[in-house]
Amino acid sequence: MPEPFALLCLSAPFLRLGLPLGRHVVGRDPDCDFVLAHPMVSRRHAELLVTPPALTVTDLGSANGTWIDGSQIGTATVKHGQNVRFSRLAFVVHQADAGGSNDPPSTKRRDEAECALLRPHRQVVERLSGAQRRVFDVLLGGEPEKAIASHLHLSPHTVHAHIRAIFKAFSVHSRTELLVLFLGDREETGGTERGSVFPPELDGDEEDPEGEDRMVRGLREHENSE
């Protein structure tokens, strides 16, 4: 069944939250519908209610807030092209029936961010075959191998073989290492550089003292659950 809405991450262009009908909880807790293993995201951060043509976002008492286009909200209905931020992690709303001609400026910014993330590894990416690149694009989004196989209409065995080839090309041994390779430098810069999702108004927020370790552990737990 088509997903009426999706949230596309501005800082990690391969991260996409596809939103089918119903209620979905976003947070750090492994029991959430969408797990965002970021130290500034609360365990149960926000609820997303999909009832087309509306997408309603409700903050669940998070420590660092939920923001729509820069304004902190309790509950709000969002539209195609608006920015939704869970603490420091920012997304742009994409509505399936909005059409490509209505892509918002934020989508262009997201595309620019994707180019920036891939640029240091361009030569390796270009050496991937067409099939490997399609798997690579979905792999970075966090989907398990079975879901990737279903999404790309490939056998699980073929997907597994492509993933192993991708790991070899990037000289890594796991999806966790692959994600750290692409996100590590960006996470370390933080601050308020252009295109960053770490705005100055949040500099005083209380951080999780084990945040970085927990983020890596979350990635590993997700990977081991496949």
Annotate 61-111 with DSSP letters as a single string: S-SS-EEETTEEESEEEE-TT-EEEETTEEEEEEEGGG-GGG--HHHHHHH
pTM score, whole prediction:
0.55
The residues, ordered by sequence, that sit 6+ positions from 131 with a Cβ below 8 Å of its Cβ are 154, 158, 162
3-state class of 33 per DSSP?
coil
Class of residue 207 by CB neighbours under 10 A (exposed 0-12, middle 13-18, buried 19+): middle
- Tens of pLDDT along the chain (226 residues) come to 578 999 988 766 667 888 999 999 999 888 898 888 778 899 999 999 999 899 999 999 999 999 999 999 999 999 999 999 999 888 999 998 765 444 444 555 555 555 555 667 778 888 899 899 888 877 766 667 887 888 788 999 999 999 999 999 989 888 777 766 765 544 433 332 322 333 333 333 344 434 444 444 444 454 455 5
For residue 93, give Cα distances in angstroms to 50, 121, 145, 147: 12, 28, 26, 22
Backbone angles phi, psi at 189, to 5 degrees: -70, -40
Question: What are the residues facing 92 on neighbouring strands?
Answer: 8, 83
DSSP summary character for residue 8 = E
